[in-house]
Amino acid sequence: MRLLLVEDDEDLGEGIRVALKGDGYTVDWLKDGASAVHALASETFDVAILDLGLPKVDGLDVLRQLRAGANPMPVLVLTARDATSDRIAGLDAGADDYLVKPFEVDELKARLRALLRRSLSRPQPVLELHGVRLDPATQDVSYRGQPVSLPRKEYLVLHQLLSQPGRVFTREKLEEALYGWEDAAESNAIDVHIHHLRRKFFPELIRTVRGVGYRVDKA
Ligand code: CA
């Protein structure tokens, strides 16, 4: 699960980051609203934790911009303000849940699990292209009707590529989807995953765009 944490308080942010990383989340942490807007426009996350009081761009504005782009990702808002009007504003702007500071990290974890359960039970479209079929709800993959079993990371790479056919993904982009920004730095694992995927399906399924990255052709 790739999670975006937007929190300008160093201690709180670090506490959340460590706790969630320990629970297996890939956590990318930003400390102001402007970089959050940028990241949300260019990256894919499974869930976000968003502080409302942020430098540069307010958390509410980050949320409004996200929802204006019709991004359905679940967002949990953190607010220091216990005023009812702020909570209502957050929910109106498209938050799925909120926590008032200070809170227990266990409660944060429980709320996140609930959000993710809800979001995963939403119907997600089956991706079908070039004889390859990937069902995000069950994570079943098949090729020409035959089930194909994929390790987690190969599945994630294939999911990324199939979700936007025609788009070229750089190696870095694909690595981020797997590892987040922090751990993506030094790895040629993507090439290995691509190699395996080509063998399990067919070589031309994933095109190399020389000097740029990889793509799956549109049908
Ligand atoms: Ca803050």
* CATH 3.40.50.2300 segments of the chain: 2-121
- Give me ligand 1 centre to Cα 207, in Å: 44
Q: Quick one: pLDDT at residue 91?
A: 86
Residue percentage of the chain with pLDDT more than 90: 65
- Give me ligand 1 centre to Cα 53, in Å: 4
User: What is the spatial distance between Cα 189 and Cα 59, in angstroms, rounded to a whole number?
Assistant: 35
- Give me ligand 1 centre to Cα 26, in Å: 22
- Give me ligand 1 centre to Cα 117, in Å: 27
Please check whether residue 217 is in contact with residue 208, taking contact to mean a CB–CB distance below 8 angstroms: no
Residue with structure tokens 């599945």? 155
Length of the chain: 219
- Give me ligand 1 centre to Cα 88, in Å: 18
Q: What pTM value is reported for the model? A: 0.70
Q: Please name which of 119, 27, 13 lies closest in space to residue 74, comparing C-alpha atoms.
A: 119
* CATH 1.10.10.10 segments of the chain: 127-215
DSSP letter assigned to residue 55:
S
Q: Please name which of 3, 14, 182, 9 lies closest in space to residue 105, comparing C-alpha atoms.
A: 14
- Give me ligand 1 centre to Cα 51, in Å: 6
- Give me ligand 1 centre to Cα 13, in Å: 10
Domain 2-121 sits in CATH at: 3.40.50.2300
- Give me ligand 1 centre to Cα 167, in Å: 36
Q: Quick one: pLDDT at residue 81?
A: 65
- Give me ligand 1 centre to Cα 157, in Å: 34
| pLDDT per residue as tens digits for the range 3-51 | 999 999 999 999 999 999 999 899 999 999 999 999 998 888 999 999 9
Q: Quick one: pLDDT at residue 186?
A: 53
| pLDDT per residue as tens digits for the range 142-193 | 999 999 999 988 998 999 899 889 999 988 888 877 777 666 545 678 899 9
- Give me ligand 1 centre to Cα 91, in Å: 18
| pLDDT per residue as tens digits for the range 99-155 | 999 999 999 999 999 999 888 777 778 999 999 999 987 889 999 999 999 998 899
- Give me ligand 1 centre to Cα 60, in Å: 12
132 strand-pairing partners: 129, 143
- Give me ligand 1 centre to Cα 82, in Å: 13
Q: Quick one: pLDDT at residue 181?
A: 65
The CATH topology of domain 127-215 is Arc Repressor Mutant, subunit A (1.10.10)
- Give me ligand 1 centre to Cα 6, in Å: 9
